[in-house]
Amino acid sequence: MRTETIHKWGTYRQAEELSGLSRTTLWRLVSAGEVEAAKVGRAVRINLESLDAYMRRCSASGSTGL
């Protein structure tokens, strides 16, 4: 049996690499409530499932929403 680790939360850098978006754009999306994020101490973690859902919505509608 093979188990996979699925990371639900990631850093800005991980989110940048997965989405191809800049840190500034990610910050805007988080600030606007388009992508879910959590602040733990000084660290910010982005919900990667939320980011994926945002990207899917944008690809379906053909716009970035920014």
pTM of the full predicted structure?
Answer: 0.79
pLDDT for 8: 94
pLDDT for 3: 55
- How confident is the model over 1-60, as pLDDT tens digits? 555 556 799 999 999 999 999 999 999 999 999 999 999 999 999 999 999 999 999 988
**Residue spans per domain, the chain:** 9-57
Higher pLDDT, 17 or 66: 17
Higher pLDDT, 57 or 66: 57
Helix axes 23-32, 12-19, angle to 10 degrees: 100
C-alpha 50/C-alpha 29 separation (Å) is 11
DSSP secondary structure, 19-60, as one string: H---HHHHHHHHHHTSS-EEEETTEEEEEHHHHHHHHHHHHH
C-alpha 42/C-alpha 47 separation (Å) is 16
